[in-house]
């Protein structure tokens, strides 16, 4: 497919956004951009908090005539074709909370965080709750997880999902995650910062609501928020602990630039760790963007490239080597 062809397919999307995709992906732009107009497959996880067994869930779905495909690189994860979406959402396992519908890429941050059963975990931007439920299933007791959400309507959605899917013991707070580090310095072994962002990976040309408010000033505003949340999460992380920073945007300003700023401010206190995923649609973090150079360590982050099965995503793992403080004079 030529450059002209893929841009025609995505023509309703902002022209500046398409220019940026071309700069990001170069000759590979037609390959990855096509996923933005194709109907996405539907991913889901078996919910061990409620499901009697994985086999029983799959048997019920098969009995309902739904073709289910296992995800070979992630235990308990499956997908169905777009044509089976409605049947999946109408199925008994879904109604009973035995499965949770979630894009496969969205499952990666918790896998990268890899909490131990005894860990105290902070989910700093938790709504609507999919990753919180993953975390609750990984630790010894859901009460070891603290889920924070600032927006009140989204907070109630989070609470409703935790109740429905068997994680009512998860502790929740409706508050601004940017103050979490000051409230609970060094209190958590694992911290997840799935930062609010411009959500570029979820743009669909047939749905103007997905991209109606996109602009470069908003990209920069989301980047500032992401950086503040990352610093707060690092403050809340205990020395030796692990933090995962993730977004569902392609914008380097919200991804590599945020990591670079934290590395430059914190120096040897924080380090990035490598990530290894057994699927081909990925690339390392960028080392430069529009004239700005990033530290070599930023390449240890992972850009998940979009396919019909997986949305675009950005995931980085950080290890805290010592207490993180704010520089004098910063507010």
Taking only the tens place, the pLDDT of each residue in 189-216 is 999 999 999 999 999 999 999 999 999 9
pLDDT at 290 over 50: yes
Check: CB of residue 261 under 8 Å from CB of residue 252: no
pTM: 0.95
Predicted local confidence at residue 328, as pLDDT: 41
Q: For residue 43, list its beta bridge partners.
A: 79
The second-level CATH assignment, the architecture, of 41-102 is 2-Layer Sandwich (3.30)
Q: What is the pLDDT of residues 16-52, one digit of tens each?
A: 999 999 999 999 999 999 899 899 999 999 999 999 9
Domain boundaries, given as residue ranges, for the chain: 3-36, 41-102, 104-320
d(CA 274, CA 296): 12
Share of residues in the chain with pLDDT > 70 (%): 96
- What is 243-276 written as a DSSP string? EEEEES---GGGTHHHHHHHHHHHGGGEEEE---
197 annotated active-site: no
Contact 77, 43 (CB under 8 A): yes
pLDDT at 326: 52
CATH of domain 104-320: 3.40.50.150
Note the helical H segments in the chain: 3-9, 15-25, 29-33, 54-63, 85-89, 92-95, 108-113, 130-138, 152-164, 180-183, 216-236, 256-266
pLDDT in tens, 92-137: 999 999 999 999 999 999 999 999 999 999 999 999 999 999 999 9
Has residue 324 got a pLDDT over 70? no
Catalytic residue (one of 34, 125, 174, 248): 248
- DSSP 3-state assignment of 223? helix
pLDDT tens-digit readout, 80-103: 999 999 999 999 999 999 999 999
């Amino acid at each position: 497919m030529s450059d002209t062809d893929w841009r025609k397919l995505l023509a309703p999307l902002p022209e500046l956004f398409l220019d940026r995709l071309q700069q990001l992906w170069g000759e590979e732009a037609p390959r990855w951009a096509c996923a933005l107009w194709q109907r996405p497959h539907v991913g889901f996880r078996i919910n061990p908090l409620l499901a009697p067994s994985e086999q029983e869930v799959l048997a019920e779905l098969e009995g309902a005539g739904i073709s289910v495909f296992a995800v070979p690189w992630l235990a308990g994860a499956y997908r169905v074709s777009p044509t089976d979406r409605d049947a999946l959402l109408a199925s008994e396992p879904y109604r009973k909370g035995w499965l949770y519908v979630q894009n496969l890429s969205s499952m990666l941050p918790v896998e990268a965080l890899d909490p131990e059963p005894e860990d105290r975990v902070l989910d700093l931007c938790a709504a609507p709750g999919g990753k919180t439920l993953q975390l609750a299933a990984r630790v010894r007791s859901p009460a070891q997880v603290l889920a924070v959400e600032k927006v009140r309507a989204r907070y109630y959605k989070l609470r409703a999902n935790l109740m429905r899917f068997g994680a009512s013991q998860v502790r929740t707070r409706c508050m601004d995650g940017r103050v979490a580090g000051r409230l609970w310095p060094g209190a958590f072994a694992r911290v997840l910062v799935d930062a609010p962002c411009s959500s570029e990976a979820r743009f669909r040309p047939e749905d103007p609501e997905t991209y109606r408010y996109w602009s470069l000033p908003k990209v920069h505003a989301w980047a500032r928020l992401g950086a503040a949340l990352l610093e707060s999460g690092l403050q809340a992380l205990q020395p030796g602990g692990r933090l995962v920073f993730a977004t569902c945007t392609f914008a380097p300003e919200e991804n590599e630039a945020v990591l670079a700023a934290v590395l430059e401010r914190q120096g040897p206190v924080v380090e990035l760790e490598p990530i290894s995923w057994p699927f081909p649609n990925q690339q390392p973090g960028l080392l430069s963007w529009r004239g700005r150079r990033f530290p070599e360590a930023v390449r240890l982050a992972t850009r998940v490239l979009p396919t019909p099965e997986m949305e675009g995503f950005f995931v980085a793992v950080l290890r805290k080597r010592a207490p993180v403080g704010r520089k004098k004079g910063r507010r």
